[in-house]
Amino acid sequence: MTEGLRHGAMGEEAVHLCVDIQELFGPASPWAVPWMEETLPVAAELAAAHAERTIFTRFIPPRTLDETVGTWRRYYEHWPQMLRETLDPAMLELRAPLRALVPPARQFDRMIYSPWVDGRLHQMLQQGGISTLIVTGGETDVCVMSTVFGAVDRGYRVVVVSDGVSSSADSGHDAAMTLYRGRLSHQIEVASRAEIEEAWRV
């Protein structure tokens, strides 16, 4: 297993991509991610230190079941209380420590696990000269994984913050981290926030 930054320091080509640290996954939600309470301070410290270079993604459920297709329809038939027609809009917001950082930090909303499908995020990053993504958030084995895989496909340098990602399933988190550190170690670096802060020179 490989741990740590192996490809040198980072600078203005890097952004912190913080995935879905929202009230939607907080303690009051049916989708609660308990570990988020431990990793939230890590993501918040990184975001506060680099607010102008942070992008917060938000997962936005569809408004009604009629807006869903295929297996997403089955998914929301199981979770009808999470459709926006009944959901408290406050549940979509970023967790409080992060919310105050926008602006200068930016938000990026999407309705599926991947932020890459419609090309908006890639275009935003390319216009900013970004080639390195430092990733925090949740869940390690769902939206973070989809974010990381899409970034790898597009050739970004990807750094997963080991103490800044979480999941509601221990087994899924552990398996994803093993994958990042092992089989994908040529394309994904895994490092602690402290190591990243030491190496991120902006």
Residue 53 has what pLDDT? 98
Residue 1 has pLDDT above 80, yes or no: no
Q: What's this model's pTM, rounded to 2 decimal places?
A: 0.96
DSSP lists the bridge partners of residue 160 as 135, 190
Query: Do residues 21 and 72 touch, judged by C-beta distance below 8 A?
Result: no
DSSP annotation string for 78-97:
H-GGGSTTTS-GGGGSBPHH
Residue 135 has pLDDT above 80, yes or no: yes
pLDDT in tens, 151-196: 999 999 999 999 999 999 999 999 999 999 999 999 999 999 999 9
Mean of pLDDT values over 120-139: 98
Burial of 51 (0-12, 13-18, 19+ CB in 10 A): middle
Residue 202 has what pLDDT? 81
Residue 49 has what pLDDT? 96
pLDDT in tens, 61-96: 999 999 999 999 999 999 999 999 999 999 999 999
Length of the chain: 202
Burial of 190 (0-12, 13-18, 19+ CB in 10 A): buried
Mean of pLDDT values over 147-151: 98
Distance CA 57, CA 35 (A): 18
Q: In what order do the strands lie in the sheet with 106-110?
A: 106-110, 54-59, 14-19, 132-138, 157-166, 188-191
Residue 62 has what pLDDT? 98
CB atoms closer than 10 angstroms to residue 145: 23
pLDDT interval class at 201 (50, 70, 90): confident
Distance CA 167, CA 170 (A): 7
Q: Which residue has the tokens 């089989």?
A: 183
